[in-house]
Chain A
Amino acid sequence: MTVGKRKIFNSFFQGLCRSMAFLAMAVLIVILVKVVTNGVGVINLSFLFKAPREGMTEGGIFPAIFGTVCITMLMIVLAIPVGVSAAIYLTEYAGKNFLGRIIRASINNLAGVPSIVFGLFGVGFFVLFIGRGMDKILGIPLLFGQPAMLWAASTLALLVLPVIIVSTEEALNSVSVSLREAAFALGATKWQVVRNVVLPQARSGILTGAILSISRGAGETAPILFTGCAYFLPRLPVFTIPYVHIPVINPLDQFMELSYHIFIMATQSTNVAATRPIQYGTTLVLIALTFLLNLSAIIFRIYFRKRPR
Chain B
Amino acid sequence: MKVEHGIKGQQKTKIKLEELTFYYGKYKAIDNVSMEFLECKVTAIIGPSGCGKSTLIKSINRISEITNDVQVEGKVLLDNKNVYDRDVDLVDLRRRVGMVFQRPNPFPKSIYDNVAFGPRLYGVNNKKRLDEIVEYSLVKSALWNEVKDRLNQSAIGFSGGQQQRLCIARALAVDPEVLLMDEPCAALDPTATARIEELIEDLKKYYTIAIVTHNMQQAARISDYTGFLLNGQLIEYNITTEMFTNPDKKVTEDYITGRFG
Q: Is the CB of B154 within 8 A of A181?
A: no
- Given contacts A180-B66, A308-B154, is CB(A186)–CB(B121) below 8 Å? yes
A187 at the B interface (CB under 8 A): yes
Contact at B117–A186, with CB atoms within 8 Å?
yes
Interface: B67 (CB within 8 A): yes
- Please measure, in the bound complex, the distance between the C-alpha atom of A178 and the C-alpha atom of B108, giving whole angstroms: 12
Residues 98-110 of chain B: 1 if any A CB is under 8 Å from the residue's CB, otherwise 0? Answer: 1101010111111
Within 260-309 of A, Cβ neighbours of B (below 8 Å) are at 308-309
Complex Cα–Cα for A50 and B171 (A)? 63
Q: Across the interface, which residues of A come within 8 angstroms of B92, CB to CB?
A: 187
Knowing A178-B101, A189-B91, the reply to whether A183 touches B117 (Cβ < 8 A) is: yes
Indicate if A57 sits at the interface (CB-CB under 8 A).
Answer: no
CB distance from B150 to the nearest CB of A (A): 13
A185-B108 in contact (CB<8A): no
A177 to B105, CA, bound (A): 10
By a CB distance below 8 angstroms, the chain A residues around B95 are: 186-187
Q: Is the CB of B118 within 8 A of A179?
A: no
Taking a contact as CB atoms under 8 Å apart, the answer to whether B105 and A179 are in contact is: yes
A201 contacts the other chain (CB 8 A)? yes
A186-B171, A196-B117 known; A181 and B91 CB under 8 Å? no
- Contact: A185 with B103, CB < 8 Å? no
Q: Is A173 engaged at the interface, CB distance under 8 Å to the other chain?
A: no
CB neighbours of A182 from chain B (8 A): 101, 105-107, 167, 170
A201 to B167 alpha-carbon distance, docked (Å): 19
**A residues near B170, Cβ cutoff 8 Å:** 182, 186
Q: What size tier do the contact residues of chain A reach? A: 20 to 34
Check A49 for interface membership: any CB of B closer than 8 A: no
Bound form: Cα–Cα A220–B99 in Å: 52
B94 lies within 8 A of chain A by Cβ:
yes
CB-CB under 8 A from B122, the residues of chain A are 187
Contact pick for B109, options A181, A184, A185, A309, CB 8 Å: A309
Give Cα A181–Cα B167 distance, bound, in whole angstroms: 12
Q: Once the chains bind, are A178 and B63 in contact (CB under 8 Å)?
A: no
Alpha-carbon separation in the docked complex, A101 to B121 (Å): 32
Interface string of B79-113 (1 = CB under 8 A from A): 00000000000111111001101010111111000
Q: Which residues of B contact A177 (CB under 8 A)?
A: 67
Look across to chain B and name the residue whose beta carbon is closest to the beta carbon of A189. Answer: B91
A201 to B109, CA, bound (A): 11
Contact B174 A187 (CB under 8 A): yes
- In the assembled complex, the CB of B212 is this many whole angstroms from the nearest CB of chain A, namely 14
Please indicate the chain B residues that have their CB under 8 angstroms from the CB of A176 in the complex. 105
The verdict on A197 contacting chain B, using a C-beta distance below 8 Å, is yes
Chain B residue numbers with a CB within 8 Å of A37 are none
C-alpha spacing A189/B121, complex, angstroms? 8
The answer, yes or no, to whether B61 is at the interface (CB within 8 Å) is yes
CA distance A178 to B66 in the complex (A): 11
A187-B121 contact, Cβ under 8 Å, with A181-B63, A182-B101, A308-B154: yes
CA distance A186 to B108 in the complex (A): 16
A259 to B201, CA, bound (A): 71
Cβ of A117 under 8 Å from chain B: no
Q: What residue in chain A is nearest B103 (Cβ atoms)?
A: A178
B61 touches A185 (CB 8 A): yes
A182 to chain B: closest residue by CB = B105
B98 near A192 with CB under 8 A, answer no
Known: A201-B108, A309-B108. A181 touches B101 (CB 8 A): yes
- A188 is an interface residue with CB less than 8 A from chain B: yes
The CA of A177 and the CA of B102, in the complex, are separated in Å by 13
The minimal Cβ–Cβ distance linking B250 to chain A, given in whole angstroms, is: 37
**CB <8 Å contact, B98 and A185:** yes
- Contact status A179-B107, CB under 8 Å: yes
* Selected A-B contacts with CB under 8 Å, 12 pairs: A178-B105, A179-B107, A182-B170, A183-B117, A184-B63, A185-B101, A187-B91, A187-B118, A189-B91, A192-B121, A201-B108, A309-B109
* Those 8 A-B pairs whose CB atoms lie nearest each other, nearest first: A187-B95, A187-B94, A185-B99, A178-B105, A186-B118, A308-B154, A187-B91, A182-B105
